[in-house]
Amino acid sequence: MNFDLTSEQQMIQKTIREFANEEVAKGAIERDRTKEFPKHIFEQLGDLGMMGLPFPEEYGGGGADTISFAIVTEELSRACGSTGITYSAHISLGGAPIHLFGTEEQKQKYLNPICTGESLGAFGLTEPNAGSDAGGTKTTAVEDGEDFIINGSKCFITNASYAKHLALTAVTGMKEGKKEITAIIVPTDADGFTVIDNYEKMGLHASNTTELVMDHVRVPQENILGKKGNGFQQFLITLDGGRIGIGAMSVGIAQAAYEKALQYAKERHQFGQSLSKFQAIQFKLADMAMKIELARNMVYKAAWLKDQGKPFSKEASMCKLYASEICMEITNQAVQIHGGYGYMKEYQVERYMRDAKLVEIGEGTSEVQRMVIARAIGC
């Protein structure tokens, strides 16, 4: 399959690459140190029309495709992994469920501010005892007249501190002995809704990762996203799209690490010649280049299938699994090529390595991806 980018995709790539190089990359080291969320960057992305890129224009979006979303996520992640994951989650976890399952009224009310960047997108799924086993959800939404009363907690939720509303999953009853899980749109300023931002993370320090606590939060039943009881299936579909985003993020971080390693290998001299003249280093760099190219093509294929309305769940899992694992491998090798300098923050590759670990975990661990793929091939 030939992934020649269209003129529109090339323009988006050129625009976002210049922006990432000039605006995003320059503060990445300092943001990693201070853990400051780059709010100004997302305001600028809103001005560029990137915050609603793949959503319809009637809701304030850009009317672009999933490949364009993948391009933007990759380029932002190449400059700063924290910025990349924030953008990916904003689109694929925040905006996508409302676009896919929301009523016209819900789209006008909730998708529009996401597209304009007025609100960052977030999605409340993971709980302390329900990560990969999302069916273990314990948050409850009990009917009370025309409202729901929501109680429970969510953990590891991206962007919630900057979201005015988010869709979250809750148990709304039992059906045939199984939990009936429903997605509900909840304003983050609702009484009893608390966002806690105090995680100490290994990497992605400038991204917003939060805990949500719901204590008798009242929302109208009209805030159900899609149909009651369809929440489980909805978030599986949502995660398929999100995995394309994590795949693109993985490619971006790996690309950054590869570029730093290649540059260092050319400039660093040992035993009378540059490191890049040693076959051991050449082979490492050749493998990096090859694996990044493969990963990028896998991301583009999954995105293309999604845009064509074709089944893409298997390909999304494949691209996420492969891209995330080669990202971890490449960032590790980039540190190794730098030797002692790779361990030092100013050379940046240690940050790439710390940031990379999350892509093997988020949106379904590597183990979960292998389960999805195994089922898809008929095991």
Residue 47, number of CB atoms within 10 A of its CB: 10
Catalytic residue among 43, 74, 363, 367: 363
Contacts of 11 (CB under 8 A, 6+ apart): none
CA distance between the termini of the chain: 27
Backbone angles phi, psi at 158, to 5 degrees: -80, 135
C-alpha–C-alpha distance, residues 262 and 96, integer Å: 37
Could you confirm whether 363 is annotated as catalytic?
yes
Q: With the C-alpha atoms ordered 220, 224, 228, 231, is the resulting torsion angle positive or negative? A: negative
Cβ atoms 320, 364 nearer than 8 A: yes
DSSP-derived secondary structure for 119-170: S---EE--BTTBSS-GGG---EEEEETTEEEEEEEEEEEETGGG-SEEEEEE
Other CB atoms closer than 10 Å to residue 338's CB: what's the count? 22
Helix, strand, coil in percent for the chain, rounding step 5? 60, 15, 25
Burial of 178: CB neighbours in 10 Å, binned 0-12, 13-18, 19+: exposed
Of 195, 46, 53, 66, the closest CA to residue 124 belongs to: 195
Count of helix runs (H) and strand runs (E) in the chain? 13, 9
What residues are labeled active site? Answer: 363
